[in-house]
């Protein structure tokens, strides 16, 4: 979980309808406030059967509103005031009955009334509606519920989930409310500009491991964090993302398809047939340039003569160059992790690989860290990210890079 204040300054209205998943909403509020959001909770009468308003007030730091007749508002119009100036309203959990009310435009409690009275039309002041369904699997699959979901989506709402798994009733299937961390990630992604909407992005990340014998190998210190951040940022920007990952211990970014590989050859074989089906290829992985020409069948043992074993190396396939040479190649972005003369090496790689953009960084200064500094190099010149020679967290840099790539693609197709 990122420690960034990714929702700093955001005003969120969180609606709770009746359902056992209300217990998850408490953790969801905690995550929202930790991310810097101001959260106003609205609860239905049914929601109060599952969790108390006192709990939600303690976590949100604001009085919970439960009735359309709440006289604390100076004009006695909580249903109007709640969403004016709000960045979004999210209902979590949203019961089948709640979704039915929204689909029919009913307004017989404060939550449905607030949703109906929110500024919904496009333009300044618009308050988007996000819905996290939570119900029994049969209720979710029922044609009436599916019709209602289709209607609220047609009316502009965004559906988050549902998830699948064990349910409180003892059954298993679709209908679970997403976990708080999943909802948090989806909400953060919702606010990101959709600069790559409709695009397909292929990303490589992490090191490769070139086996010497069954227990040893050649590898490097790449953690994969930058590549995983780019995959997440591209997904947030609306792209369909495939991540080809070397041997790293990192969670798969939400909504990203992941393919795990070990060696450079395996990464090559995973990337090449897929590259032509993607619009963008970002080669973040620190791929080993060499591998042992032969693999020892058994562990190489000391021979008592204090002589180090020797073995012949052979060159690995150049994945970025191979993709860049395809007749219908995607927009290619290469990474150069150097230990010195960053600009010179990055520019040489740009010319050697024949790609439009190389992103350089100093490997020893960033491997394993959560922050980084990037140098964007193209035929026209170079530019630092962030500007001024400082560092920034890798997710923020990844989002900047994704916007940069999107702008370049748009300019090339204009």
Do the Cβ atoms of 271 and 256 come closer than 8 Å?
A: no
Which residues define the annotated binding site for CTP? 289, 299, 317-320, 335, 349, 353
Residue range(s) of every CATH 3.40.50.1950 domain in the chain: 11-190
Sequence-distant (6+) residues with CB within 8 A of 258 are 242, 243, 244, 245, 252
Q: 62 is written with which tokens?
A: 């604001």
**Distance in angstroms (rounded) separating the CA atoms of residues 361 and 380:** 19
| Main-chain dihedrals φ then ψ at residue 190, nearest 5 degrees | -60, -35
What is the topology classification, in CATH, of domain 200-296+306-413? Rossmann fold (3.40.50)
**Distance in angstroms (rounded) separating the CA atoms of residues 250 and 393:** 16
User: If you classify domain 11-190 with CATH, what class do you get?
Assistant: alpha beta
- Helix/strand/coil percent split, the chain, to 5: 35, 25, 45
Quick check: helix, strand or coil at residue 277? coil
Do the Cβ atoms of 180 and 31 come closer than 8 Å?
A: yes
DSSP per residue, 120-147: -SSSTT---EEEEE---HHHHHSHHHHH
Q: 384 is written with which tokens?
A: 């630092």
Q: Quick one: DSSP state of residue 319? A: H
**Distance in angstroms (rounded) separating the CA atoms of residues 181 and 170:** 23
- CA distances (Å), 176 to each of 216, 299, 324, in order? 44, 49, 44
Per-residue pLDDT of the chain (414 residues; tens, 9 = 90+): 344 789 999 999 999 999 999 999 999 999 999 999 999 999 999 999 999 999 999 999 999 999 888 878 788 788 888 999 999 999 999 999 999 999 999 999 999 999 999 998 888 889 999 999 999 999 999 999 999 999 999 999 999 999 999 988 899 999 999 999 999 999 999 999 999 999 999 999 999 999 998 988 999 889 999 999 999 999 999 999 999 999 999 999 999 999 999 999 999 999 999 999 999 999 999 999 999 988 888 888 887 776 777 888 999 999 999 999 999 999 999 998 877 888 898 899 898 989 999 998 876 667 778 888 899 999 999 998 888 778 899 999 999 999 999 999 998 765
Q: Quick one: DSSP state of residue 293? A: S
**Catalytic machinery residues:** 169
Neighbour tally for 327: CB within 10 Å: 5
Residue range(s) of every CATH 3.40.50.10300 domain in the chain: 200-296+306-413
Do the Cβ atoms of 133 and 94 come closer than 8 Å?
A: yes
Q: 121 is written with which tokens?
A: 């039309």
DSSP per residue, 92-112: EEE-HHHHHHHHHT--SSHHH
Which residues define the annotated binding site? 289, 299, 317-320, 335, 349, 353
Q: 61 is written with which tokens?
A: 């730091």
């Amino acid at each position: 979980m990122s420690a960034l204040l990714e929702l700093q300054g955001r005003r969120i209205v969180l609606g709770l309808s009746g359902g056992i998943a209300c217990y998850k909403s408490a953790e969801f509020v905690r995550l929202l406030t930790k991310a810097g959001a101001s959260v106003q909770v609205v609860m239905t009468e049914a929601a109060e059967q599952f969790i108390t308003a006192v709990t939600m007030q303690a976590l949100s730091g604001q009085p919970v509103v439960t009735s359309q007749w709440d006289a604390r508002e100076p004009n006695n119009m909580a249903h109007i005031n709640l969403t004016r100036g709000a960045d979004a309203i999210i209902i979590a959990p949203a019961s089948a009955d709640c979704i039915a009310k929204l689909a029919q435009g009913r307004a017989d409690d404060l939550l449905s009334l607030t949703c109906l009275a929110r500024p919904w039309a496009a333009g300044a002041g618009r308050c988007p509606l996000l819905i996290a369904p939570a119900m029994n699997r049969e209720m979710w699959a029922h044609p009436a519920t599916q019709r209602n979901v289709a209607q609220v989506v047609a009316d502009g709402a965004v559906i988050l989930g549902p998830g699948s798994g064990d349910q409180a009733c003892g059954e298993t299937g679709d209908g679970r409310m997403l976990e708080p961390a999943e909802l948090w990630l989806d909400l953060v992604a919702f606010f990101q500009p959709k600069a790559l909407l409709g695009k397909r992005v292929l990303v490589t990340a992490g090191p490769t491991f070139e086996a010497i014998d069954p227990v040893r190998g050649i590898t490097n210190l790449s953690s994969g964090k930058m590549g995983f951040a780019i995959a997440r940022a591209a997904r947030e920007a609306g792209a369909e993302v495939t991540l080809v990952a070397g041997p790293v211990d990192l969670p798969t970014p939400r909504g990203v398809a992941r393919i795990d590989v070990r060696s450079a050859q395996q990464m090559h074989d995973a990337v090449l047939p897929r590259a032509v089906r993607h619009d963008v290829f970002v080669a973040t992985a620190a791929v080993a340039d060499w591998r042992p020409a032969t693999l020892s069948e058994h562990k190489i043992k000391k021979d008592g003569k204090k002589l180090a074993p020797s073995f012949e190396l052979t060159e690995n396939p150049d994945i970025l160059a191979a993709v860049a040479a395809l007749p219908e190649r995607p927009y290619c972005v290469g990474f150069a992790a150097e230990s010195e003369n960053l600009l010179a090496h990055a520019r040489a790689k740009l010319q050697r690989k024949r790609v439009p953009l190389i992103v350089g960084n100093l490997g020893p200064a960033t491997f394993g860290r959560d922050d980084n500094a990037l140098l964007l190099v193209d035929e026209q010149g170079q530019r630092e990210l962030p500007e001024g020679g400082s560092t920034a967290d890798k997710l923020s840099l990844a989002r900047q890079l994704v916007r940069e790539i999107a702008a370049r693609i748009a300019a090339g197709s204009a």
